[in-house]
Amino acid sequence: MPDRDPAAPVTWPTDFPGTWLGCPREPLLQVLGRGIDRFGQEPVLLFDDGAAFTGQQLREQAERFAGYLAPMLSAGDRVALALGNRAEYVIAFLAVLANRGVVVSLSPDIGPHDARYAVENAGCVLAITDPGSDAVMGELVGTAPSLRKTIKVGEPEPFGFAHLLEGVAPLRLEDVEASLDDMVDIGYTSGTTGLPKALGGRHTETLRYMDVHLRRRSARSEPVRMLMPLQLHYGDPLTYLFGAMCSGDSLVLMRKFSASRFWDVARSSGATDILTIGSVPTMLLARPEGPADRDHSIRHATALAIPRDSHAELERRFGFPWNETYGSSESGPALSMPPHAAAEFVGTGAIGIPLPDVEARLVDPDGRVLEGPGSGELELSGEIVFGGYLDNPKATAEVLHDGWLRTGDLMRRDARGVFYFEGRRKELIRRSGINVSPAEVEAVLRRHPAVLDAAVVPVEDPVMGEEVKAYVELVPGAPFDPAGLIEFCAQQLTRQKVPRYVEHRVEPFPRTPTQRIPKKELMVGGAHTTDAAWDRLEHRPEGG
């Protein structure tokens, strides 16, 4: 085989399957019904505590629960689903779809304000709850105009709805007369400003996620068992499970992510692959190194936002390749690094290239399209999932124009067509006319041996307009040395990007289900304050 030209454009293999060759464009339950049946008594869904559920169990329980829901639901009715990681989440999701209902996916830890907003905004008629969400949802019955009742999951798993099903005739999944244009689910974004926006996914959008997964999966002949540390309500675990049902693979879910147990779960479950997102890689690397790091059967990682400076260490320490991918709730899967090219980009921060059915371009702040190498905002078109926010034309118009999606992400494209993430447009800090990317400063801080994680934000300043503040969570036992952290940043960043303020997070950072840090939760009274922060200007040397 000839050596690859290091200057040649990076492309997908010529035999990469074309669009919709992985998953047929048929109503979702038609596709899943065939997939579930191939499992029979074999497990398709497993959990980190050893619980395992077969295709037959999931089908039987879903069809019985669908029969129970049938008198309560009409086509298009919205049902809030606020369950943790347990089999009944999947059962309830399928049962609602069998009635042509729409699932509104919510966290089981949702608070009263967010719950009311989502239930009223979506017009939910039912809520399916677990012990974590039942009280919050129950308070909305009779006060939220549309919500008629809550249905609480019981025990034991996966028979948590058995107390409701005596004498109920099952409703066969494939008997639903669904349209590809039917809405399947509604999720809520959590942007940097304003109320969450509702995104409605139709059959075609869920099928496209599955199609991309199955087309990429087709290059491998061996069985795949994917280990995921995410919650089902986030979305990715469910679409991976649906894809697994069609490919004959299986999915292992952690009830709750735990870095200390991660490799034990990987080993005991026989997982072959993992998906990580947010700070999961950083948290895994923060654990003491030991023999368990390679005592597993993992062969491949798919990851969103691999920390650039830790990429090589992740592969060395854990013994398998970590492959970057990129997407959003609005776009679905969009960019990824082709496996054959991944090794040469380790440690560069490269995300990859557009999937074969996606177009990507960069635009400058005035909307002019940039050709060739350069930096700008990423826009996407082609087979992406976004058709607009529900009942929110203003927000839709802000991101969708002329068939292109404004992602809000700043990217760099090199001479080979490979994209690199540089930060979020709306998160940029404007310090004395200079744009500072929080992601860039955070990446430097995470390289410091005492820093477990960091969050960088703007704070108002009468002279500079905005100043740079860093919250840091330290490795257990490490001393807080803000001057040392500032010096570390100054050695790697231009002067304008070095934080002025550093605040020590004594408590662990709050985390979203994807292990990202929700920076709005760090605010005090709706703003990032400096009262508890170390100020480098107050501690600079004489004459500095």
DSSP assignment of 452-508, as one string? EEEEEEEEEETTTEEEEEEEEEEPTT----HHHHHHHHHTTS-GGGS-SEEEE-SSP
205-424: what CATH class? Answer: alpha beta
Which token pair is 390? 């529900």
Q: Which of 53, 27, 24 is nearest to 40 (CA)?
A: 53
pLDDT computed for residue 543 by the predictor: 45
Answer yes or no: same fold for 28-201 and 205-424. Answer: yes
Superfamily of domain 428-535: ANL, C-terminal domain (3.30.300.30)
Which token pair is 29? 């339950």
Q: What is the pLDDT along the chain (544 residues), one digit of tens a residue?
A: 445 677 899 999 999 999 999 999 999 999 999 999 888 889 999 999 999 999 999 999 999 999 999 999 999 999 999 999 999 999 999 999 999 999 999 989 888 888 999 999 999 999 999 999 999 999 999 999 999 999 999 999 999 999 999 999 999 999 999 999 999 999 987 654 457 889 999 999 999 999 999 999 998 989 999 999 999 998 899 999 999 999 999 999 999 999 999 999 999 999 999 999 878 898 899 899 999 899 999 999 999 889 888 999 999 999 999 999 999 889 999 999 999 999 999 999 999 999 999 999 999 989 999 999 999 999 999 998 788 999 999 999 999 999 999 998 999 999 999 999 988 788 889 887 777 889 889 989 999 999 999 999 999 988 888 999 999 999 999 999 999 999 999 998 888 899 999 999 999 999 887 788 989 899 998 889 999 999 999 987 654 4
28-201 — its CATH code? Answer: 3.40.50.12780
**Helices 87-98/28-37 angle, 10° precision:** 130
Strands (E) across 235-387 are located at 250-253, 273-277, 300-304, 322-328, 332-336, 350-354, 358-363, 369-370, 374-382
The alpha carbon torsion through 58, 59, 61, 64 (nearest 10 deg) reads 170
pLDDT computed for residue 389 by the predictor: 93
Which token pair is 277? 């997102």
The residue extents of the domains of the chain are 28-201, 205-424, 428-535
